[in-house]
Amino acid sequence: MITNQAKDRYNKLIEMYKVKFKKEKAIELVEDIGIKPYKDRYGNDLFLIDNEHLVYFGVMNSWLKEKVPADNIIDKTVDKINN
């Protein structure tokens, strides 16, 4: 389970590292894929994230902490042209 803030962080990390992740891991990430809304027994709005995407979240979060540069505009443009 993750909070709304964690979901937003996950999506922001995808925005930052989408091209790099595709190049290094051969996986194309899409925002909110692998995440489903969930309401706990106290009525809190949370999200369930599947194990696969939780691992991806961890990888990208470690890149951020290690100060791995985010995708630059050239990488994003080339990726857009090639797809």
Q: Which 8-state DSSP code applies to residue 28?
A: -
pLDDT in tens, 57-80: 999 999 999 999 999 999 889 888
User: What is the extent of the structural domain holding 36?
Assistant: 4-82
Q: How far is CA 38 from CA 19, 30, 46, 52, 76, in A?
A: 29, 20, 5, 18, 33
Please name which of 13, 3, 1, 2 lies closest in space to residue 65, comparing C-alpha atoms.
13
Q: How far is CA 55 from CA 11, 21, 34, in A?
A: 14, 12, 11
- Overall pTM surpassing 0.85 (yes/no): yes
| Average pLDDT value for residue range 41-56 | 97
